[in-house]
Structure 1
Amino acid sequence: MMSNNSTNSCSTENVDKMMQYVELIIYIPIFCIGIVLNLTALMAFCLCLRKWTETTIFMTSLALMDLLLLLPLPFKMHAANYKWSGGSQMFCSFLENLFFFGIYGSIYMIMCIAIDRWLAICYPFKAKQLRSPRAAFLASLGIWILTSSAVFPVTYNLRENYTEDFHCFHRFSEKGWSPVVIICLQVFGFLGPALVVVSCSVHTICVLQESGQRSPKSQACIKIIYSSLGAFLVPFTPSHLAIFLQFLVHQKVIKDCNTEQSMSLFIQTAMCLSNITCCLDAFCYYFVAHEVRSTKNSFRMRTLSQRRGNSSTSEV
């Protein structure tokens, strides 16, 4: 996606041609499976789980982010094989905005989920004051506003004004590879949220394990934490490592042509695979829905037992 021929004579055209087929192999199943899973999750959260909790609000927002990440994929597949006219540049920038918005919105939404879970389990008394559906809604809204205000102004300036045909999602200008952009992208876009997610998740798992609880609810919570970690680290770590290595190519730290071609293949493949987060998040949705159903069933059983106890007492 962010590949670019280096400023020297080294060519990556062979890599680009190979990626035309690789992208189809990766994107088609991700798009089909991701659309089905995320639409199903939205229907489940909105129609089946009538009570809005902090977790379901964050998960609903994450599903919407994933859908925004999936929408540009058919256009990316087309752009990899065909050039677009110069007049399509604004539409291309809009699609690129959706793609980056979906990626970094998902990153920050997963971070919020990790913080919310950490508060609820590790600091339950403070959580009663800080956590609420209203606070979760405001936090989700804040992420949408923050991500859009950070992504849109940057991505609209990643391209030069084209008058000739071009490949959308490819060949960003050197402005897109400036040290300021890449440092902010790495620190605020990935490393900062990754540190928060990993720290909160590890602490939460330790607290659950040290408590000695082996209840189904605690085990389900641990599964949710592991699935969230996987949905975060598996797609986003390789892609941001690839962006950093490609940045070194643009800064001429890496000059060997074979290495540059390898970096081009790595970054394009990693950016393709980063979309798999739309499918991995489905594991989080499943465990959350299962936990909510388990909570409802346990509540009904307690209510039924209380009613039976009251009726037996009244008979005596």
Structure 2
Amino acid sequence: MNTSCNSTLQDWPPLDNYVAKAYTGTLLVLGLLLNGLALWVLCCRLPQWTETRVYMTNLAAADLCLLCSMPFMLHSMKRQEDTLLCQLSQAIYLVNRYMSISLVTAIAVDRYLALRHPLRARGLRSPRQAATVCALLWALVTSSLVLRWVLGTQEGSFCFSSSSKKSSTTLFSLLGFYLPLALLVFCSLQVLLSLARRPTTDPAQAEATCKAARMVWANLVVFVVCFLPLHVVLTVHLGMVSPSCAWRSRFRCLIYFTSRLSDANCCLDAICYYYMAKEFQEVRMAGLSAKAHKNQDSLCVTLT
């Protein structure tokens, strides 16, 4: 690799360097505390396992593992050396980033099936089946990272292949985002349309429906804001033919900043855990009330 094209944190202006370090440190502290607390609540404090609880527990675990690997990855990448520590920490980081993306998508698909296909959902949705889906996702994402590692080492670098040049391994990142994004947008919009058409004769159910719609919107916006900029940068980088040294340095900085933006999803996910649990409880109570009005596919069944 041409060292004149390398750009590290130490090469940035002091103010930018301090801001980047302060942001990363704040993200780590908040993320570890919030996800640790969320994982404890999900595993120990809720009364029963549901499909959503299984998905959210795996999501909290993935976010926690990503945050734990991030300091080691950043330390290795500052030296621009493709060491074993860099490879291992970046592999853990990437597995858990795309597991987080996959699990958020799985939650959206689960909601869509329960709302738009309630009869089929009774046979498709259960905590055991949710656990099976999570296990398959872990296996799929991990195996794709193994293949990416093989391709990256053949090209000369695993840690820096996506930021230093056009690389076939970048396609794994793009595929692991754009397909889930399409599914997430489709399922979220379908859920929002169904919620908008839901009768509002019962004030309690109407309030629960409104809150559930806001929750779906919030999850979709957080996902797009956190993950889309990074993958747009990767897409542009992949499409460039023989970028100059200056452009490669610019893209390296853009990838760094948009990656740190994607890391913010770990904190925002953890904040959503509380509100999701709260809204699910309110929706469940509204659903029980709605049964008295012969609403068999209540919002309780739809979102929990």
Task: Choose from 21, 24, 28 the match for 2:21.
Answer: 24
Q: Which amino acid in 1 is paired with 2:161?
A: F
- Per the TM alignment, residue 200 of structure 1 is displaced from its structure 2 partner at its CA by 0.3
1:133 aligns with 2:134: no
Pair 1:245 & 2:236 matched: yes
Change (3 A) 1:120 1:175: same
Higher-Rg structure is: 1
Q: Does 1:198 align with 2:176?
A: no
| Alignment match, 2:260 | 272
State the shift of 1:139 in Å: 0.5
Amino acid of the structure 1 residue aligned with 2:46: L
Letter in 2 for 1:239: L
SS at match of 2:161: coil
Residue 120, structure 1, aligned to residue 111, structure 2: no
Residue by residue, what CA displacement relative to the aligned partner does 1:63-109 show, whole Å, maximum 9, x if unpaired? 0110111011222343354576x7xx223211111110011111111
Asked if structure 2 preserves the Cα contact closer than 8 Å seen for 1:109 and 1:140, the reply is yes
| Aligned residue among 269, 284, 292 for 1:281 | 269
Distance 1:12 1:95, change over 3 A: closer
Match of 1:178 in 2: 167
SS at match of 1:178: coil
* C-alpha displacement of 1:134: 1.0
Given the superposition, is the C-alpha separation of residues 277 and 192 from structure 1 closer, same or farther in structure 2, using an over 3 Å criterion? same
In structure 2, the residue corresponding to 1:136 is in which secondary structure? helix
Tell me the residue number matched to 1:223: 214
Distance 1:14 1:83 in 2: 8
Contact 1:93–1:156 under 8 Å retained in 2: no
State the alpha-carbon separation in 2 of the partners of residues 21 and 80 from structure 1.
Answer: 17
Match of 2:37 in 1: 40
Q: CA RMSD for the aligned pairs?
A: 3.2
Secondary structure (helix, strand or coil) at the match of 2:72 reads helix
Query: How much has 1:301 moved relative to structure 2?
Result: 9.7
Unaligned runs of 5+ in 1: 163-167, 303-316
Q: Is the 8 A contact 1:66 1:278 kept in 2?
A: yes
Q: How far 1:264 moved relative to its partner?
A: 2.8
Q: Which moved more, 1:195-204 or 1:21-30?
A: 21-30
Q: Tell me the CA shift for residue 192 of structure 1.
A: 0.8
- Tell me which amino acid in the other structure corresponds to 1:123: H
Q: Partner letter of residue 208 of structure 2?
A: K
User: Quick one: distance in 2 between partners of 1:279 and 1:158?
Assistant: 30
Which residue of 1 is the match for residue 55 of structure 2?
58
Corresponding letter in the other structure for 1:60: T
Higher relative contact order (CA 8 A, sep 6+): 1
Of 89-98 and 105-114, more deviation after overlay is shown by: 89-98
- Offset of residue 218 of structure 1: 1.6
Q: Does the Cα contact within 8 Å between 1:26 and 1:273 map onto a contact in 2? A: no
Please state how far the C-alpha of 1:202 moved relative to its aligned partner: 0.6
Q: Which amino acid aligns with 1:171?
A: F
Cα separation, 2, equivalents of 1:197 and 1:286: 21
Aligned residues: 283
Cα offsets for 1:243-277 (capped at 9, x unmatched): 1222244x31x44x654443332122111211111
Q: Once the 2 structures are TM-superposed, how far is the Cα of residue 175 of structure 1 from its aligned partner?
A: 10
What pairs up with 1:92-107 in 2 under 5 angstroms?
92-107=86-101
Mapped partners of 1:173, 1:204: distance in 2: 35
Q: Aligned partners of 1:17 and 1:80: how far apart in 2?
A: 13
Which residue identity lines up with residue 151 of structure 1 in the other structure? L
Q: TM-score, normalised by structure 1?
A: 0.78
Q: TM-score, normalised by structure 2?
A: 0.81
Identity of aligned residues (%): 27
Check the 8 A contact 1:190/1:240 in 2, yes or no: yes
Query: Once superposed, which parts of structure 1, at least 4 consecutive aligned residues long, lie more than 6 Å away?
Result: 173-176, 296-302
Cα distance in structure 2, aligned partners of 1:174 and 1:226: 32
Q: Is the 8 A contact 2:163 2:255 kept in 1?
A: no
